Amino acid sequence: MPRRGLRAGSRPRSVCSSRPPQGDCQNCPRRPTHAVGAEEHGIADAVIEDTGAEEDNGVEEDNGVEEGDGEEGDGEEGVRPQGGRRMSPTTRRPGSVAEVLASEEGPAVAAFFDLDGTLVAGFTALVHSKERLRSREVKAAEALRLITTAIDFQIGRAGFDQLITDGARALAGQLETDLDALGEKIFRHQIADLLYPETRALVRAHQQRGHTVVLCSSATSMQVEPVAAYLGVDEVVCNRFVVDEEGRVTGEVVDPIIWGEGKATAAQRYAAEHGLDLTRAWFYADGDEDVALMHLVGHPRPTNPGPHLTKVAERRGWPISRYGSRGTSAVTNAARFAVGFGALGPITALGTARAAMTGRKWDGLNVLTSTWPKFLLDSHGVSLTILGAANAEAQRPAVFIFNHRNQMDAFMAAAVVKHDFTAVAKKELKTNPLFGTFGRLMDIAFIDRADSAKAVNAMHEVEKLAAQGLSIIVAPEGTRLDTHEVGPFKKGAFVMAMSAGIPIVPIVIRNADDIAGRDSLTVQRGVIDIAVLPPIDVSAWTRAELTERIDEVRAAYLDLLADWPTDDADPRLTGG
């Protein structure tokens, strides 16, 4: 298998591309040995989750328009974007997902995406340097010098050549495979949560059209390739380290360095080797140095552009997109969290007083559940647009299921259900100061997935609560997934509904990742779209057909996410 670095003394035969045209191209990358998938990407599983526990088999394992762009309304009438509403031609503004989905299809069309500032909020080199300092993988003086150089580069005091050569020298002698692993680790724990959902949606739209998507960046392979693997992008053009015969970095960078005009040249070389016409290509980037490549493509799309690129774009009529969905500071986020969590005490006190007046514990808890989840979301600037809300009250009790993406969507589901409910969660969350406190108040069943007998007993206790009129909230995927798809559903929630004789009510959350990544502790402002489907009667279901029935419910999620309803009159929400 070809190495991603260049052997000392050899010359590159092609531009960096994760699928070399032929032969053993020393300058072409190989994909990481394992892509960063949903299960690897993070520190915990579901907040409120389906453990899959059932008597038969215990607990299942969680496994603007530029000249030459054409008319804005070009393309197929009424194209639906992935996970979006039907778009009319007038909504296909340049730089939007709808524009991409109305464009020509096929791999002959290329879409080049820059990394820093375009796909990722911030500067990945700075993140890497800070992490290496924190983990003491480099001496403090060396790490601080690299951080200073990275900051100087961002403010224009240092050139890119200095930045990348200093970085390469600091890595001299290290195994390339170790650097690959480090790059994936830093991506999982820090960079993944900085990905702009808006640009991710554009990547998916280009993939949906069958375009050749290329990550074209001046960053190094250890910064770029984990992002490419995560996004399902096979093609990469980036800077690479020279590697010796033992697989160690020599401290040099493959020449020529990809930056500015060199980046445009690399993209031209890639296009020539792959038979691509740049006049049909798209390019999304933020850097002032990216003007050269912007001039070469047919669809230049400045994204979060710097001052020079902004001036050029305005002069030439290139459409500009700016995103603010990532980048909330830790201090701001902590302040919002403090406001939201701080309200828990007073609201609980009100609930306690209510319970004392009525003599019913759940009257008091309903004060909490109908108020605090929404207040917590409001304190972070998160609002919910709910379609089919009447379905949440149509039949109670019920097993409410939702698709799980991050640490806030359980509170979104709670804000929909509002009252008279409990939930199922993994036992590790019992000690969590937020979920543990909330869970103990709510009689949430904390499941030990390592002990099937205990898990089944806990599920029986939940069924008893259902018999008392309480609804259950469960995430049937069993873990948080960082993907626009819906993972396989486990059986636990459905078996519980069958045993308790209560319906299933699907809660479909469209865009939870707009406000936070899978494991992010930082929550961005945003509007989340939610749809509640009509209750599903499970009284006639049998164990023999359970898998088929579950697949039908999951298919309803996929259908709704692919073609989002515009109002409550949608037949899928009315049951008509």
Q: What pLDDT, on a 0 to 100 scale, did the predictor assign at position 150?
A: 60
**pLDDT(301) > 90:** yes
Mean pLDDT of the 302-327 span: 92
Mean pLDDT of the 29-57 span: 35
* Reported confidence tier of residue 390, pLDDT bands at 50, 70, 90: very high
From first CA to last CA, the distance across the chain in angstroms is: 56
Mean pLDDT of the 99-126 span: 93
**pLDDT(446) > 90:** no
Q: How many Å apart are CA 461 and CA 457, to the nearest integer?
A: 6
Highest mean pLDDT among 175-179, 248-252, 311-315, 473-477 belongs to 311-315
pLDDT tens digits, residue range 543-556? 999 999 999 999 99
Q: How many Å apart are CA 512 and CA 507, to the nearest integer?
A: 12
Q: What pLDDT, on a 0 to 100 scale, did the predictor assign at position 72?
A: 33
**pLDDT(74) > 50:** no
* SS3 of 72-115: CCCCCCCCCCCCECCCCHHHCCCCCHHHHHCCCCCCCCEEEECC
Please tell me which residue, 569 or 55, carries the higher pLDDT value: 569
CA neighbor of 295 nearest in space, from 311, 318, 276: 318
Q: What pLDDT, on a 0 to 100 scale, did the predictor assign at position 113?
A: 98
Please tell me which residue, 457 or 500, carries the higher pLDDT value: 500
Mean pLDDT of the 363-372 span: 88
Q: What pLDDT, on a 0 to 100 scale, did the predictor assign at position 192?
A: 85
pLDDT tens digits, residue range 517-542? 766 667 878 899 999 999 999 999 99
For 534, residues 6+ apart whose C-beta sits below 8 A from its C-beta are 388, 391, 394, 505, 573, 574, 575
**pLDDT(489) > 90:** yes
> Hey, CA dihedral for 509, 515, 520, 522, is it positive or negative?
negative
State the average pLDDT for the chain.
78
CA neighbor of 180 nearest in space, from 133, 237, 134, 243: 243
* Reported confidence tier of residue 133, pLDDT bands at 50, 70, 90: low
Q: Quick one: what percent of the chain has pLDDT higher than 70?
A: 71
**pLDDT(111) > 60:** yes
Q: What pLDDT, on a 0 to 100 scale, did the predictor assign at position 148?
A: 65
Q: What pLDDT, on a 0 to 100 scale, did the predictor assign at position 140?
A: 56
For 9, other C-beta atoms within 10 Å of its C-beta total 8
Mean pLDDT of the 103-128 span: 92
Q: Which domains does the chain have, with CATH numbers?
A: 6-30+104-316 (3.40.50.1000), 382-574 (3.40.1130.10)
Structure tokens at 253: 């960078």
Please tell me which residue, 65 or 388, carries the higher pLDDT value: 388
> Hey, CA dihedral for 565, 517, 233, 91, is it positive or negative?
positive
Mean pLDDT of the 152-158 span: 57
* Reported confidence tier of residue 509, pLDDT bands at 50, 70, 90: very high
* Reported confidence tier of residue 458, pLDDT bands at 50, 70, 90: low
* Reported confidence tier of residue 151, pLDDT bands at 50, 70, 90: low
pTM equals 0.64
- Give the angle subtended at the CA of 387 by the CAs of 386 and 393, to the nearest 5°: 85
Q: How many Å apart are CA 146 and CA 128, to the nearest integer?
A: 10
